[in-house]
Structure 1
Amino acid sequence: MQENITVSQVITIDHEEGPEHDDWKFESDPAEASKKYREKLLRKCEMSPVLHFQMDMRDSPEDRERAILTFYKKANVDWACLLKCTLHGDPAIGDGVTRHVFATVMSKLQHGFELQLVPGGTLLFEGEKDHVIPATSQCFLDSDLFVVAGRMIGHSFLHGGPCFTGLSPAIVHVLFGGCPDTATIDILDCADVDIRQIIEKLEGTGDLSTEEKTAITDLALSWDLPAVTSENRRWLHDKLLTHAVLERTSKQLKRLRRGLKETLIWPLLTERKDTIPLLFPRTSDVLYTPRMLLERICWPDEDEDSEVSIEDICRLTGFLRTFIENFSSSALRFLIEFWTGWDVLPRSLVVEVVEGNLPKSATCYQTLKLPSHYKDYTAFERDFLAAIWSRDYGFGLV
């Protein structure tokens, strides 16, 4: 029986190959450098045992989440091995299933698990867009969920999947070795609104009321900092903000870093700092516009042998264009996920007009199949939205 290649063995092989094989280091385009690094790493593990992920689509949402967390809690896994995903209870097979799994994993990580590990659900990262920071729950630390999060993020990135968006620049700075003292922290990085409002009282030079001084002093003393005075006001503001954003999340970042390292993408990120924004893009960098989608669509050609008339093809493609041009970026993201299996925009998107009842997708081929029977846009939009919103339940069940 063939043994797994360990992390240390992969790194050793990398050194033995020599610098001539490290063309990713000298590639000018960070996206291309990232692609070359990932492809090289995945090729090294082609002969290793396949990594299997299984999930039963008939289970409850909580049980499906347990399957995800159980998979990523496994220790001593070579995450660069070939991945085979199986969705029990769904007939779908192929690359589309893998894309669907990564889309589900990253969506849960980004927006929260339904599992009640703590009251209110399991949201590992919290805060406003582009100011997200790790949650400070001790339960999450005790459960090693930030190591799990690092594995999820690195594994998805390794396979070209969705990335984690909106992480605070100050958190990214420290995660990759930056000194907390040199981090630029925004007040919006403080995810706890109550704490944020107390810290904000220290801004400016106006007199503080007795109640404000009491609230600030109580917070400062709870974090082993001195009470507020007129002389230390600005200094205390910065210390409280640093503690709220960076010091309270330092253990989380160490474990997140460990999880990322286990997926073997760390050499790329440390030697090519320009690839870090690809792993943790800002939310605004992944907003989809109608033009972005329309430029990549391969529209149906006129085919005399087609069972669908040219009139039907023109009408349905017109409905699709209208939908794309009039819906929000979030709806377009869901459309891409329904179309391809994840919300990563490919180079081309294929459209077919076919005989059928409801809109469907062949995610392995990145092909959207539109039924030809729709005569008015309202009915088309209603069913199209229903199909898109059902993407979490698998492909065969749509």
Structure 2
Amino acid sequence: MSNLQNGFLLDDETELKTLLFEGEQDHLTPSTSRLLLESDFFVVAGRIIGHSFLNGGPCLVGLSQGIIHVLFGGEPETATVTESDCADQDVREVIRMLQGTKDLSEEEKSVVLSLTLPWDLPGVTVNNRHWLQEKILLHAVLERTAQQVKQIRRGLKDTGVWEFFSSRPDAVPVLFPRASEAEITPQMVIDNINWPKDEDIDEDILSLDDHCLIMSFLRRFIENGTSDILKSLLTFWTGWGVVCSNLEVEVIDCSLPQSSTCFLTLKLSKNHKNYEDFHQDLMASISSAYSGFGQI
């Protein structure tokens, strides 16, 4: 899901990530890459989204509302599409050009025509200017991604979740949340930690005062963490960046923080005496989650 959200590394030589979804946050649309489409990547994307949801994992955050509308059976003509949904900056420039009221120069008309002609749309005239602007936007956002959306739908159907959400439009934001709805707050994490009780602490290994000191460092780290840092912490802690109930934490004799993701257990070093060292080591550990645990 992280790769789906942030891009896949398909070319080791260039080390450039390939985005399946492009654009602004909360206005993401499927890539128009023919290679991705012909490789059925978006079918795979639909399956990933469906299986992650069924297993309580992270969701794809920030998908365009127009894309979501069509994905679950809505007509393109009734979709709400804005300029922010258009990931192509060149198309945006043409749309802005048509939004104005000043007469277009012959050069500007030529720029518009070079875009509309391949899409079987006419050139701009005085009478069709605003109509053409809407048609270009609709084509750029929904018509160019129609096959990609069909593939995502196929993938969701393979997992059995499409039928439910297509019949329950009120529940669709659970599957495709907005960015603000997917943010993780410090209190969400703190409320789901099973903090060790005094009687559970083995004072032959660590004194109660030192144990409480490490727990205070963890609480401070969480309280000061951004949503992105907390997602990285949870990914290191549990295997994915969503809040789980019954998060466990232990203090052990180790050089760097460790985790047992299957048991939702974060293992902190007993050797930290100040917060600065604790913060540095925990940041080093959670940054290794995407490359392999412990590969620092």
Normalization by structure 1: what TM-score? 0.70
- Identify the match of residue 181 of structure 1 among 69, 77, 94: 77
Q: Report the counterpart of residue 249 of structure 2 in structure 1.
A: 351
Q: Report the counterpart of residue 67 of structure 2 in structure 1.
A: 171
Q: Residue 134 of structure 1: CA displacement?
A: 0.6
Count of matched residue pairs = 293
Q: Report the counterpart of residue 217 of structure 1 in structure 2.
A: 113
Listed as ranges, the matches of 1:157-168 within 5 Å are: 157-168=53-64
Letter in 2 for 1:152: I
Structure 2 gap ranges (5+): none
Normalization by structure 2: what TM-score? 0.93
Q: Residue 397 of structure 1: CA displacement?
A: 5.3
Change (3 A) 1:309 1:209: farther
Q: Report the counterpart of residue 341 of structure 1 in structure 2.
A: 239
Q: Report the counterpart of residue 11 of structure 2 in structure 1.
A: 116
8 A contact 2:29–2:63 mirrored in 1: yes
Secondary structure in structure 2 of the residue aligned to 1:353: strand
8 A contact 1:300–1:353 mirrored in 2: no
- Identify the match of residue 199 of structure 1 among 95, 98, 104: 95
Secondary structure in structure 1 of the residue aligned to 2:273: coil
Listed as ranges, the matches of 1:128-143 within 5 Å are: 128-143=24-39
8 A contact 1:125–1:135 mirrored in 2: yes
In 2, the alpha carbon distance for the partners of 1:124 and 1:329 equals 23
Q: Report the counterpart of residue 305 of structure 1 in structure 2.
A: 202
In 2, the alpha carbon distance for the partners of 1:353 and 1:116 equals 40
1:83-142 CA-partner distances (Å, limit 9, x unpaired) = xxxxxxxxxxxxxxxxxxxxxxx111111111139x844221111101111111111111
Secondary structure in structure 2 of the residue aligned to 1:173: helix
Secondary structure in structure 2 of the residue aligned to 1:393: coil
In 2, the alpha carbon distance for the partners of 1:384 and 1:268 equals 40
Structure 1 gap ranges (5+): 1-105
Fraction of identical pairs, as percent: 53
8 A contact 2:72–2:162 mirrored in 1: no
Q: Residue 396 of structure 1: CA displacement?
A: 6.3
Change (3 A) 1:229 1:310: same
Which of structure 1's runs of 4+ aligned residues deviate more than 6 A?
Answer: none
Q: Report the counterpart of residue 323 of structure 1 in structure 2.
A: 221
Letter in 2 for 1:114: L
1:327-360 CA-partner distances (Å, limit 9, x unpaired) = 2210111111111111121123222222222111
Instruction: State yes or no: 1:248 paired with 2:248.
Output: no
In 2, the alpha carbon distance for the partners of 1:115 and 1:332 equals 27
Q: Residue 321 of structure 1: CA displacement?
A: 1.6
Secondary structure in structure 1 of the residue aligned to 2:290: helix
Instruction: State yes or no: 1:367 paired with 2:268.
Output: no
In 2, the alpha carbon distance for the partners of 1:325 and 1:159 equals 28
In 2, the alpha carbon distance for the partners of 1:226 and 1:393 equals 50
